[in-house]
Amino acid sequence: MLQTLSIRDFVIVDQLNLEFEAGFTVLTGETGAGKSILIDALSLALGARGEGGITRAGCDKAEISAQFDIANEHGLQAWLTENELPYDDNQLLLRRVIYADGRSRAFINGLPATIQQLRDVGEFLVDIYSQHAHHSLLKSSYQRQTLDQYAGLTEPAAAVASHFHIWIALNQRRMEMERNAAAYQDELAELRDQVRELEQLAPSLEEWEPLQQEHSRLSNGASLLAGGEACRDLLSEGEFAALNQLIAAQHKLQGLSEYDSSLKEAVDALDSAVIQLEEADRFLNRYLQRAELDPERLNEVELRIQALHTAARKYRVRPEELDALLKQKQARMAELDDAALDGELARKEVEAKSIYMSAAEALSAARKLAAAKLSEQIAIEMQRLALAGGVFSVDLSSQEPAASGLEQVDFLVAGHAGVTPRPLSKVASGGELSRISLAIRVVTAQQGDISTMIFDEVDVGIGGGVAEIVGQLLAQLGQRRQILVITHLPQVAAQGATHWKVSKALVAGNTLSSIQTLDQAARIEEVARMLGGVEITDTTRQHATEMLAVAGN
């Protein structure tokens, strides 16, 4: 559930801190006061794309924060854990900062996040329906998604699409193999020779660097031995060996330090130097004892390097890339071998088609059951919305196997009794479409698990008694969900459990928008304004009072 929304320096809002309640909240105000700004701000916090000009004039950035209670959002909790985003006390804070130059930053519970992650989170939390959203209902794909969401078939539908793509990919591979059989046979023969050659060479990703180092050591063996002996002479074996010189100086200073204790620091430094030189001398001694010239091994290493270089030049790769090249050619050869086996690829294609058909047929059966139930429930709501005698039907017509399944989903409607239902796009007027859209929202919301639903002027084209019924339906939704509705209709506004008013004013030469929660007296005035226009009379106020009383407010 949405708990708080904080907006700063956004369009015509300087600073706004809102606390939300459960249930049905209405938001009203004059046209242009900034009602939709709240929805726009929340949408940005949920990962919507930001457009230019959304920071308040004279400000370098806009900031939006939305806090949610996610105690019952188990799917979201799993998503947060999977993405290593901590949440404490079942609280989630989404924050978006948008700069005047168009740059944007996102945060989830204080940690940097991507805009896509905000969108992913938003899909668990909020559904926003705009006044233009009902036009989406005219699209067959949207109608299919609506049915699947209502029936809880989103995951099975996604599985059917995945099985379809696997089947089609195998089908295309088989057809390609059949068209190019001769060319593939030639390629396979060449691959077998190349793989055989590379397998005999047996290149290794970890081999090249150590081989280079060993070659450097073996090819410079004489220089290493001579240099090591020379260094030992300088350190300990020669007439003027450094160790002998240091030890002599060490003894001399030890004696002098008895007369002046400040020399003790120099004595300690020489002690350390003697120890380090002795360690270096012992290391060189061990190294020279082990070191030897090995022309046979040097010859082996040079031959191996030459073989790797020759293969690398032949295949136009670096020597260290030969191992990856071998794996690539082995994979391609296995692919062509599968195709060359009698009927193997065709068998896999048949198996993939069978898996798809089984899943698609199960999906079709589930859709058929859900379609009848959805049709009945939406038709009932249509009667309440002044579409008496109207018929709504979810039509499932067979189609060729596709990613969407074995049937096309179409919403058919008849606005009056005795009329044959026809596709929604061909028969519904603007007002009818708004009402049918709302009926669908009311029915499908009962099955969904989104806790917060926002309706932005979805009651356009509706008035009179129908508007009151729309308000009742939204109030009905508010008993199970958190509902926020932006409306111009007093009949809808009167039904809200909480009423906010948006207004704008000129402050120090700047137009600023603000939101206030209305008490009962202020609410009567606002509903009366919506009823009566410019001049509010006592009769209008009485009408507003009665309207609120009938709604239980």
β-partners of residue 68 are 2, 92
Euclidean distance between CA atoms 197 and 193, whole angstroms: 6
| Calpha distance 374→377 (Å, rounded) | 5
Classify the C-alpha dihedral 123-126-131-137 as positive or negative. positive
What is the per-residue pLDDT for 339?
61
pLDDT for 445 beyond 80:
no
pLDDT tens readout for residues 229-266: 888 888 888 778 888 888 888 888 888 888 888 888 89
Q: Convert the pLDDT of each residue in 188-201 to its tens digit.
A: 889 999 999 999 99
Amino acid 499 reads H
- In this predicted structure, what is the pLDDT of residue 52? 67
Q: Is 142 helix (H, G, I), strand (E, B) or coil?
A: helix
- Start-to-end Cα distance in the chain: 23
Classify 485 as helix, strand or coil.
strand
Does the pLDDT at position 458 exceed 60? Answer: yes
Is-contact 67 534, C-beta < 8 A? no
Q: Does 532 or 461 have the greater pLDDT score?
A: 532
CA distance 174 to 208: 40
**Mapping DSSP to helix (H, G, I), strand (E, B) and coil, where does residue 2 land?**
strand
Single-letter amino acid, residue 151: A
Q: For residue 3, what pLDDT band results from cuts at 50, 70 and 90?
A: very high
50's tokens: 């930001």
What are the residues whose beta carbons fall under 8 Å from the beta carbon of 117, sequence distance 6 or more? 47, 83, 85, 106, 108
The CATH number of the structural domain formed by 1-130+482-489+497-515 is: 3.40.50.300
pLDDT band at 140 (very low <50, low <70, confident <90, very high): confident
Query: Residue 473: pLDDT above 70?
Result: yes
For residue 379, which phi and psi values (nearest 5 degrees)? -60, -40
Instruction: Retrieve residue 88's tokens.
Output: 């404490």
Model confidence pLDDT, tens digit, residues 408-419: 999 998 877 777
Neighbours of 58 (CB within 10 A): 8
CB-based contact 25:499 (threshold 8 Å): yes
Residue 151 exposed, middle or buried by CB count within 10 Å (0-12, 13-18, 19+): buried
Which segments of 317-451 are extended strands (E)? Answer: 391-402, 405-414, 422-423
